[in-house]
A and B are shown apart, each in its own frame.
Chain A
């Protein structure tokens, strides 16, 4: 019988053997370093200083972006960048003054750039300025003898031809962040420019080319002397969008002095022709590597120009929501088109008095008139009959309060309230009185301008589901249908007729275009509860009402659905409807000309 100690001793006798073996290997390696660094060191120093073959990545050109007519929206142009090799400068101060004079820049801002790069070795060139003009390039070339420390490098610069007019739909480029590099699985490298926001982000993998590589000989300062071979980079694919440059410009101009968003889409295909958010920003600012003050201003601006209000801002739908209520009421058979309700200016529901916007009341109204004159009391009744859950189902079925699945990131779903939501989020029961508010588009209900345009597309195409998208060859995705909801064709038709009346003889008259069928609905969202009537113009800007206008139009051949939202714009009829008219006139310009015969 062996003791535990003997057992252990067997093991421990062999431990030194292993240790000596590993330590000897470490010694062998140390001597290899000694040999390479001390005996052959001078040889390798020579190699390091002269024959330098370096692999450099080559970036494939990023694809261009076109509008639906094939008009070029985004391209790559050669950008001239000024780099400074500090090791070649005799006097850095005079070098900087030279640059400051040619570029008309403050020398202090240049010194600041150098301070930031102070820690990288002197033989590393420093990027001093980007996007030089040709005359500036010429002046640096002319003074190259006195100032050999400057080089002008040519690199691709992303050019957004229409600047701020397209910014929110297109997005922009920016340097890949650490998180993006990590998540890309080796696709992105540090300092790569990648798509941020908009279609530049969503279709980044399609737009970006695949990297190539070249082997070059560089001198001891890293300057390329000779190229030894290359694996060509492949350019990215071009992207064709459904956007229409002309309509987009009409909408951008309308929003020059307004805050809000507009979306227009083809009800038959879901193709988005207009996607505007205001205020906007100049995406070309982001194409540069050097941080600029413009960029900081964008981030700090109180109006949040980087916010894409068309998809990221959600608001109460206001009276536009009466469209959903009408379709739901008729489809569910809760009311017939001829059923009437007495509006005396207010009504009592769930023990509380709710007012109509019209104090003296509308008298006896049926659905069409209730929509045309936006009678609140009619829809209070309808809301009470339907109940919040059925209202919610139809809201979802008509694409409000949930993501549309548009092919750009950042979309907000909005909110469809209900009993389950109330328990989960507010930890409180749903009160029947709230249903009455929701019935006229107030209460916790929230929708985005894109969803409103989607709603109008559904109204225009008779309830066929389409998915809004920006790329012409976007993958067609089947829309899921809402369980328990069937949009009755008769209901859709009745509501459509009522919407046409709104434009012909109601609040939507500002959107009427001769020769077209136009149907629409205005909406006004109160920012503060008002008990006494004050004219909006007398209110401070921040407290003025938001304006909605949602409409569709058709010339029998083509159709267009539009939603316009103006923050603090006042009444929808005045602030939002005129843009719809401008868009319709531009969209149908040709068919209108031939039809009206001039």
Chain B
């Protein structure tokens, strides 16, 4: 009793300082999702003759180590070097354009053979870091128009370089962190409305003058998939059949007919969640979505209890990107959004993408660990 009351007299902050409370949900969700991802990648690729499991396992292993490294680095120190890291990132993107490897029509990789990295995946967290540093200097409660534009400029440079590869999907993926960080920094409603109107006009212009035929087709197909079951609607339809036919409990591991009979495209990458949904049913889907909710919930808890603006903004930027990947991919697989090459964090096969997600997890944990350190 005495000890209890004694402890009760210690201010809560001080008690926490002595025993840093790690949010285990974050790394636990990352590891569990990776394990589920490995099993699903195996099922999605073994049938076609090349098993991607060993290689993805290696990426996950390296990713885990990188997560610990990112966790160990003091985010505050990292922020000091944010402009240098950002510039290094831009240099790597220029290097890709000059000497990168081409695959699938885009020059996106640095490296040799099948051992190569996609710099754009690492430029994304680097950009988040610089944006966090910049927006943290703003004068609350609301951002000025100039700040919004200057932050946008920081974002646009890497976006243009990635779009030039050309990797339009990869370029668009820079946007969610910007939105998330702007919203949290504070933006007046009239700016939001104006941006919406401008986007509408630009969208119309883009549709007519920028989007290529196949890109237009994808959107049209999304709007009415039954119009062209053998052409562009094929993927959408097959993915939906895979998901739906999984029902509650799934067809069993390695027993998904849609997956194993090669109806599904890009089974081990963009449509890995369809393989999971078919073989494990809604129970599997709900489990994975719950793990993503656990990850995001813990992540936002870090943002809510962080003590510095840079930390909050960095976490918000990283989580917004992560959430957008998860939401877009799962929505696309079930037919809620048009198909585009957006992978699912921790589940899809992909080296650079896996590494980048582990690094982001480590950074978020790092912000949390050092929240009591005085600056």
Residues of chain A at the chain B interface (Cβ within 8 Å):
2, 6-8, 10-12, 14-19, 22-23, 25-26, 29-30, 32-34, 36-38, 40-45, 47-49, 52-56, 119-121, 123-124, 175, 178-179, 181-183, 185-186, 189-191, 215, 218, 220, 222, 228-229
B186 contact set on A, CB distance < 8 A:
10-11, 14
Interchain CB contact (< 8 A) of A220 among B238, B241, B257: B257
Q: Report the separation of the CA atoms of residues A119 and B253 in the bound assembly, to the nearest whole angstrom.
A: 10
Minimum Cβ distance to chain B for residue A53 (Å)? 7
Is B129 interfacial (CB-CB < 8 Å)? no
Contact A54/B263 with A33-B277, A121-B255, A229-B230 known, Cβ cut-off 8 Å:
yes
Question: Would B113 and A11 count as touching, CB distance under 8 A?
Answer: no
Given contacts A15-B304, A30-B286, contact A23 B296 (CB under 8 A): yes
Chain A nearest CB, measured from B273 CB (Å): 9
Q: How many whole Å from B72's CB to the nearest CB in chain A?
A: 25
Beyond the given A11-B184, A222-B261, please list 4 additional residue pairs across the A-B interface where CB-CB is below 8 A: A44-B243, A47-B244, A48-B241, A183-B101
| C-alpha spacing A6/B304, complex, angstroms | 14
Pick the residue among A23, A121, A222 that contacts B293 (CB under 8 A): A23
CA distance A178 to B335 in the complex (A): 32
User: B-side binding surface: helix, strand, loop or mixed?
Assistant: helix
Which residues in B have their C-beta under 8 angstroms from that of A11? 140, 184-186, 309, 312-313
Assembled-state Cα–Cα distance A178/B49 (Å): 10
The answer to whether B327 and A119 touch across the interface, beta carbons within 8 angstroms, is no
Q: Please state if A218 and B261 are interface contacts (CB–CB under 8 Å).
A: yes
Contact across chains for B102 and A185 when beta carbons are under 8 A apart: yes
Tell me the complex Cα distance, A191–B45, Å. 12
Whether A30 contacts B289 by the Cβ 8 Å rule is yes
Contacts of A45 in B (CB 8 A): 244-245, 247
Q: Which residue of A lies closest to B140 (CB)?
A: A10
Contacts of B309 in A (CB 8 A): 7-8, 11
Q: B297 in the interface, Cβ–Cβ < 8 Å?
A: yes
> Is B167 an interface residue, CB under 8 A from the partner?
no
Residue among A8, A29, A52 making CB contact with B334, cutoff 8 Å: A29
Which residues from A are CB-within-8-Å of B238?
53
Contact mask B211-239 → A, CB, 8 Å, 1/0? 00000000000000000011000100010
Interface contact B241-A44, CB-CB below 8 Å: yes
B246-300 interface with A by 8 A CB criterion? 246-248, 254-255, 257-258, 260-263, 277, 281-282, 285-286, 289, 292-293, 296-297, 300
Q: How many A-B residue pairs have CB under 8 A?
A: 193
* A14 proximity list for chain B (CB < 8 A): 183-184, 186
Q: Is the CB of A47 within 8 A of B245?
A: yes
Residue of A nearest to B329 (CB): A29
Q: Which of A15, A16, A45, A182 has the most CB of B within 10 A?
A: A15
**Number of residues of chain B lying within 8 A (CB) of chain A:** 74
B47 touching A120 by the CB < 8 A rule? yes
Interface residues of B in 78-111 (CB under 8 A from A): 101-105
Closest to B260 in A: A121
Q: Give the docked Cα–Cα distance between A45 and B285 (Å).
A: 17
Among candidates B113, B141, B184, B257, residue contacting A123 with C-beta atoms closer than 8 Å: B257
Chain A residues in 8 Å Cβ range of B243 = 33, 36-37, 44
Chain A residues near B307 (CB-CB < 8 A): 8
16 contacts between A and B (CB under 8 A): A11-B312, A15-B304, A15-B316, A29-B330, A34-B282, A40-B244, A41-B244, A47-B241, A48-B241, A48-B258, A53-B263, A54-B261, A120-B46, A178-B114, A182-B114, A220-B257
Flag whether B41 is at the interface (Cβ < 8 A). no
The answer on a CB contact under 8 Å between B244 and A186 is: no
Q: Contacting A26 at CB < 8 Å: which of B102, B104, B326? A: B326
In the complex, the chain B residue whose C-beta lies closest to that of A40 is B244
> Given known contacts A15-B316, A119-B254, A179-B113, is B304 in contact with A44 (CB within 8 Å)?
no
**B285, A37: Cβ atoms under 8 Å?**
yes
Q: Which residues of A contact B319 (CB under 8 A)?
A: 22
Q: Check if A44 sits within 8 Å of B244, measured CB to CB.
A: yes
Query: B248 near A15 (CB under 8 angstroms)?
Result: no
Contact B289 A23 (CB under 8 A): no
Most chain A CB within 10 A, of B238, B245, B281, B297, is at B245
A25 B327 Cβ-Cβ under 8 A? yes
Let me know if A124 and B260 touch, CB within 8 A: yes
B22 at the interface (CB under 8 A from A): no
B206 CB–A CB distance under 8 Å: no
* Inter-chain contact A36/B254, CB cutoff 8 Å: no
B residues near A8, Cβ cutoff 8 Å: 306-309, 312
Q: Is B29 engaged at the interface, CB distance under 8 Å to the other chain?
A: no
* B residues neighboring A (CB under 8 Å): 46-50, 55, 101-105, 112-116, 140-141, 180, 183-186, 229-230, 234, 238, 240-248, 254-255, 257-258, 260-263, 277, 281-282, 285-286, 289, 292-293, 296-297, 300, 303-304, 306-309, 312-313, 316, 319-320, 323, 326-327, 330-331, 334-336
CB distance from B324 to the nearest CB of A (A): 9
Q: A44-B245, A186-B103, A190-B49 are in contact. Are A18 and B335 (CB under 8 A)?
A: no
Task: State the Cβ distance, A322 to closest chain B Cβ, in Å.
Answer: 43
A12 to B292, CA, bound (A): 22
List the 4 shortest-distance A-B pairs measured between CB atoms, nearest first: A44-B244, A182-B114, A41-B247, A48-B245
Contacts of A181 in B (CB 8 A): 50, 114
Which of B115, B312, B313 lies at the interface centre, i.e. has the most chain A CB atoms within 10 A of its CB? B312
Counting chain B CB atoms within 10 Å of each CB, the highest count among A120, A178, A191 belongs to A178
Contact B327 A44 (CB under 8 A): no
- Which residues on B sit within 8 Å (CB–CB) of A25? 323, 327
Residues of A within 8 A of B281 (CB): 37
Interface contact A19-B230, CB-CB below 8 Å: no
Q: Given A18-B320, A124-B260, answer yes or no on A37-B282 (Cβ-Cβ < 8 Å).
A: yes
Assess the A26–B244 pair: CB atoms within 8 A.
no
Contact of A7 among B140, B180, B260 (CB under 8 A): B140
Given A12-B303, A14-B184, A29-B334, verify A37-B296 contact (CB < 8 Å).
no
List, in ascending order, chain A residues with CB within 8 A of B245's CB: 41, 44-45, 47-49
B331 to chain A, nearest CB (A): 5
- Residue in chain B with minimal CB distance to A22: B323
Contact B248 A191 (CB under 8 A): no
User: Which residue of B is nearest A57, CB measured?
Assistant: B262
Contact of B240 among A17, A29, A36, A228 (CB under 8 A): A36
Say whether, besides A23-B296, A121-B254, A38 and B304 are in contact (CB < 8 Å): no
A465 to B238 Cα, complex, angstroms: 60
Bound CA span A228–B228, Å: 13
| Contact call B244/A36, Cβ cutoff below 8 A | yes
Q: Which chain A positions have C-beta within 8 A of B330?
A: 29, 33
Residue ID in chain B nearest A119 by CB atoms: B254
Query: Quick check: A19 and B49 within 8 Å, CB to CB?
Result: no
Q: How far is the CA of A14 from the CA of B180 in the complex (A)?
A: 10
Q: For residue A36, which residue of chain B has the nearest CB? A: B244
Known: A2-B140, A32-B334, A37-B248. A18 touches B183 (CB 8 A): yes
